[in-house]
């Protein structure tokens, strides 16, 4: 074998480093949501996927089962290749739906929010990477001319660059600041992409867009998304001890994987408990925005 193989999209590429089944699922999910893998299309065989991603077939099967549980794939078995679901990514909503990973639950709810004439999104998070990813589908819908809000208001609360983060942080005391600098670069990059993608709608589609950022004086232990004043999506950042490569060196760290955090959904009008949670979440967010947060510049 020449060390190269055909990827799912037909391109040639060298074998990547060993990946986890979650990373394989993330990559395939992205291809389905982007339309690269179309509804009704048969997936490559498990052997082909294992070869492409440089993993064992067991990891591929686990990844496919994850996507099947998210209603993105059908016919997942050890035999014939799986098939992309007829309506990929159609995730049910409502107060009775159980919590789901952020990568699964956030995008369809953001898309639903963008069908309103006035879109309002408030977010409190660590880097805004989940929000930036979730905005992909409604932005494509706007560019395709299928939806067009009159106005979009987005407010984002992120940790300040001037604090010592509780996470990500090295397990052993350190003063070199490598993890902080990497987080800051990611925070700024995601924020800049989010702001650019939304503000571009003003010139391309004539939509009234406002995007604002404020800095928090603490590391948020939770993430919160408030949609159109009627829905609150809440998840915990679960901190774990793990080894990461930072500047070509293995480092023991405390960190959290926000994109896989389980997202709990609360809707106004779905009962006293849900309505009160949504209202109190808005009060909490507004209080942080108007009191102890400060100006945030997306620069290093």
Dist. CA 226–CA 240, nearest whole Å: 26
| CB-based contact 144:177 (threshold 8 Å) | no
Q: Return the beta strands (E) in the chain as ranges.
A: 4-6, 12-14, 73-74, 83-84, 100-101, 118-124, 151-159, 169-170, 208-216, 222-227, 231-236, 239-246, 249-256, 262-267, 294-295
pLDDT for res 30: 79
pLDDT for res 11: 44
Dist. CA 110–CA 102, nearest whole Å: 11
Q: How many CB atoms sit inside 10 A of residue 204's CB?
A: 10
Report pLDDT digits (tens) over 265-290: 999 888 899 999 999 999 999 999 99
- C-alpha distances (whole Å) from 151 to each of 117, 139, 193, 228 are 7, 13, 19, 12
Task: Output the six-digit token pair for 40.
Answer: 């009704």
User: For the chain, what is the total number of helices (H) and then of strands (E)?
Assistant: 8, 15
Report which of residues 8 and 276 the model is more confident about.
Answer: 276
Dist. CA 16–CA 36, nearest whole Å: 20
Burial class (CB in 10 A: 0-12, 13-18, 19+), 68: middle
- β-strand pairing of 169-170 with 249-256: antiparallel
| CB-based contact 299:171 (threshold 8 Å) | no
Residue 221 has what DSSP assignment? S
User: What's the whole-number mean pLDDT along residues 63-72?
Assistant: 79
| CB-based contact 234:116 (threshold 8 Å) | no
DSSP string, 26-73: HHHHHHHHHTSS-TTPBPPPHHHHHHHHT--HHHHHHHHHHHHHTTSE
Strand, helix or coil at 187? Answer: helix
Answer yes or no: is pLDDT of 212 > 90. Answer: yes
Dist. CA 211–CA 2, nearest whole Å: 49
Dist. CA 278–CA 132, nearest whole Å: 22
Give the global pTM: 0.71
Handedness of CA 99, 103, 108, 113 (dihedral sign): positive
Report pLDDT digits (tens) over 88-105: 444 454 555 678 888 888
Answer yes or no: is pLDDT of 7 > 70. Answer: no
Dist. CA 66–CA 18, nearest whole Å: 19
Dist. CA 36–CA 30, nearest whole Å: 8
Report pLDDT digits (tens) over 165-202: 999 999 988 768 888 899 999 999 999 999 999 999 99
pLDDT for res 97: 64
Rounded percentage of the chain residues whose pLDDT exceeds 90: 51
- C-alpha distances (whole Å) from 84 to each of 20, 34, 54, 122, 219 are 21, 12, 22, 33, 39
Burial class (CB in 10 A: 0-12, 13-18, 19+), 125: buried
């Amino acid at each position: 074998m020449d060390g190269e193989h055909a990827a799912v999209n037909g391109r040639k590429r060298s074998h990547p480093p060993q990946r986890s089944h979650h990373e394989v699922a993330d990559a395939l999910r992205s291809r389905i949501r982007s339309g690269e893998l179309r509804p009704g299309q048969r997936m490559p065989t498990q052997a082909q996927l294992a070869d492409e991603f440089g993993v064992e077939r067991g990891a591929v099967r686990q990844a496919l089962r994850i996507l099947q549980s998210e209603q993105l794939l059908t016919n997942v078995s050890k035999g014939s290749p799986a098939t992309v679901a007829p309506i990929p990514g159609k995730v049910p909503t409502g107060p009775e739906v159980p919590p789901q990973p952020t990568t699964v639950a956030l995008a369809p709810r953001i898309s639903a929010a963008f069908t309103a004439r006035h879109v309002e999104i408030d977010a409190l998070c660590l880097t805004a990477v989940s929000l930036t990813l979730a905005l992909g589908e409604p932005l494509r819908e706007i560019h395709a001319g299928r939806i067009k809000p009159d106005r979009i208001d987005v407010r984002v609360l992120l940790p300040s660059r001037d604090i010592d983060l509780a996470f990500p942080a090295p397990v052993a005391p350190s003063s070199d600041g490598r993890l902080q600098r990497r987080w800051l670069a990611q925070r700024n990059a995601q924020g800049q992409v989010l702001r650019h993608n939304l503000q571009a709608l003003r010139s391309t589609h004539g939509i009234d867009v406002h995007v604002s950022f404020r800095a928090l004086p603490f590391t948020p232990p939770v993430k919160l998304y408030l949609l159109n004043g009627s829905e609150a999506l809440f998840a915990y950042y679960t901190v774990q001890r793990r080894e990461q490569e930072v500047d070509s060196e293995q480092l023991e760290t405390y960190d959290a994987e926000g994109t896989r955090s389980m997202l709990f959904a609360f809707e106004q009008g779905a009962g006293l408990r849900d309505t009160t949670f949504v209202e109190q979440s808005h009060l909490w967010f507004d209080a942080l925005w108007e009191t102890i947060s400060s100006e945030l510049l997306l620069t290093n």
